[in-house]
Amino acid sequence: MVALQTAAGLGFTRIGLQSAHAAEPAAAESAPAIVVGSGYGGAVAALRLGQAGIRTLVLEMGRLWDTAGPDGTVFCSTSAPDRRSMWFRTRTEAPLATFLWLDLVNKDISPYPGVLDRVHYDHMSVYVGRGVGGGSLVNGGMAVTPLKSYFAEQFPTVDADEMYGTYFPRARSMLGVNTVDPAWFESTDWYRFTRTSRKAAADAGLRTTFVPNVYDFGYMQREAAGTATRSALAGEVIYGNNHGKRSLDKSYLAAALGTGNVTLHTLERVRSLSRAADGSYLLTADRIDTTGAIVETKQYGCRYLFLGGGSLGTTELLVRARDTGTLPDLDPAVGAGWGPNGNTMLGRANHVWDTVGADQATMPVMGIDDWANADNPVFAEIAPLPMGFEHWISLYLAITKNPERASFTYDPASGTVRLGWTAAQSAVSSGMAKKLFDRINLANLTLYRYDLFGSTSKVFADDFTYHPLGGCVLGKATDDYGRVKGYSRLYVTDGSLVPGNIGVNPFVTITALAERTMARVLAEDAAP
Ligand code: FAE
């Protein structure tokens, strides 16, 4: 690490300039370390680099969400979404598209760098957060540590004892993980929907478990008491929470900027990566305005490059770099090992006497845990559906142990990547979810809802995911610490390291792995 700190001390403001070939773009701005993306992987890298005294630049394609709009709030509401809701769309694309088959949910909006994106591939679409904080701005805050045995199965070369003894606790503490007060949970109307789902699961002999969250439950109780402005109790989540949630901009990223060594550029999308003759990395980034127009194309240089663009962002950059020849020595495993964490969403109709309540908190706090069932391992999050009236629907996001994986390939015609995931691969997830929920329906004499996912009477929404994982899998496209094979001083720190499935909601795992990578890199890596 000495050499990395020395590099920081020297400033390296002109890396790439002196030795760049004439044909290579000159790096107009340089820093010893650059981090691409400001989600979990990027935020951990930025903080630990900053604390080590290394001048670091973070490039984020989304905007900083800290300024109130004309309505006085930073994020728009879920019930009346405006342009702040989605990334350059003319209409919102909510996961739950219909109610009684009617398109009552989505609304017309004007294009803008909104906070939630839905990236469409041929047979799978992927929800991701855009902005300073990445997915932490839009997610449900469920902060779940995976089962140790399954973590060890997915990461056979990682020391699980060290992860569970050091890096998971470190991640949870930094993220501000807390749990709902069980007594309040049992008594409040805001979690009636969860208790009703718990009862239905118990009737089928299934176990439920509380799950922690990064939403401040003390704040939520004050919302319920009427002494704090409502956020989770006002339906806010996928288009951002105006209060209560400890998103990364309030935890890791605030601490990173607090070191004085970290600078953040927003609305800058890194388009390509290459290497200069002196071994430094060159990045080309498009700076956009709020209409999406490219107002400037910038060149950056750095000695140490950390990729935290998420499973989609990082994998796309590396596949493009390998297949266009700008980083030709990248491993063939780059682009492979992708999966949607077995995600399937579904709804059940309860009996009229099993109410779910008009009032529903948006932060899930419980899951049905049938992972130990070797024939059909599923962990199903009990999800809210806050519509402001009683609808008797129990909603779930099932995470199934789907072994299917897909690869990204470069498409020269569009300059982007394609994902080879198929509908048949999704059917594996929905088949597993169906087995579990058939049991629940049979025990309760209840039915599925057919009206929630479009006009085709679809029961299982297995064509989208909240949990994109893989593409640069740890130990395959990288070494066991996220160092990218084929290149020195190039690292991956985000969800692309996770091999397609982790059995629970993934951000605690992503954060803990990034902590492990940064501890090792800062201790060991030296400039050649
Ligand atoms: P991520 O957080 O996606 O950050 C990547 C960042 O990089 C983003 O800010 C991008 O805008 C930026 N970026 C990408 N490409 C570029 C580029 N070329 N140039 C510049 N910037 C770029 O990545 N997980 C849980 O554990 N619990 C939950 O309750 C949960 N709920 C979810 C609900 C929703 C609606 C969604 C969408 C996700 C949810 N997730 C949840 C998933 C979780 O947010 C996700 O696994 C992490 O955010 C992934 O972290 P990464 O660091 O991999």
Condensed to tens digits (0 to 9), the pLDDT of residues 79-128 reads: 899 999 999 999 999 998 788 777 788 999 999 999 999 999 999 999 99
Based on the fold, state whether residues 273 and 404 are members of the same structural domain.
no
Q: Using CA atoms, how far apart are residues 112 and 75, in angstroms rounded to an integer?
A: 13
38 lines ligand 1 (CB under 6 A): yes
Contact 468, 495 (CB under 8 A): yes
Q: Are residues 220 and 365 in the same domain?
A: yes
For residue 475, the enclosing domain spans 2-65+247-338+469-524
Burial of 45 (0-12, 13-18, 19+ CB in 10 A): buried
- Which residue among the candidates 243, 391, 467, 515 is catalytic per the annotation? 467
User: What's the rounded mean pLDDT across residues 236-254?
Assistant: 98
Whether 123 is catalytic is: no
At 316, is the pLDDT very low, low, confident or very high (cuts 50, 70, 90)? very high
Q: Is residue 202 part of a domain?
A: yes
Decide if 93 is catalytic: no
User: Minimal CA–CA distance to 348: which of 193, 222, 143?
Assistant: 193
For residues 291-304, average pLDDT = 97
Residues 292 and 347 in one domain: no
| CA dihedral (262, 268, 271, 277) positive or negative | negative
What is the C-alpha to C-alpha distance for residues 286 and 289, in angstroms, rounded to an integer?
A: 10
Domain boundary among 439, 465, 491: 465
The pLDDT of residue 23 is above 90? no
CB atoms within 10 A of CB 323: 19
Does residue 337 line the site of ligand 1, with CB under 6 A? Answer: no
Question: 292: how many CB neighbours lie within 10 A of its CB?
Answer: 12
Residue 72 phi, psi (nearest 5): 90, 0
Check whether residue 388 and residue 363 sit in a common domain. Answer: yes
pLDDT tens digits for 130-169?
999 999 999 999 999 999 999 999 999 999 999 999 999 9
Q: Is any ligand 1 atom within 6 A of the Cβ of residue 139?
A: yes
197 ligand 1 Cβ < 6 A: no
Token pair recorded at residue 33:
């370390």
Tokens 């495993």 belong to residue? 333
pLDDT, tens digit, 9 for 90 and up, residues 392-418: 999 999 999 999 999 999 999 999 999
Q: What is the pLDDT of residue 10?
A: 32
CATH number at residue 50: 3.50.50.60
User: Residue 490 corresponds to which tokens in the numbers above?
Assistant: 């190039």
Q: How far is the CA of 258 from the centre of ligand 1 (A)?
A: 23
Same domain for 61 and 185, yes or no, is no
Band (pLDDT 50/70/90 cuts) for residue 27 is low
Residue 7, pLDDT above cutoff 80: no
| Domain identity same for 491 and 457 | no
The confidence band for 11, taking pLDDT boundaries of 50, 70 and 90, is very low
Are residue 193 and residue 298 in the same domain, yes or no? no
Predicted structure pTM score = 0.95
Give the number of domains in the chain: 2
Last residue of a domain, one of 429, 449, 465: 465
> From the candidates 268, 316, 381, 404, which is the catalytic residue?
381
Long-range contacts of 97-103 (CB under 8 A, 24+ apart): 97/452, 97/453, 97/454, 98/451, 98/452, 98/453, 98/454, 98/455, 99/387, 99/391, 99/451, 99/452, 100/451, 101/451, 101/455, 101/457
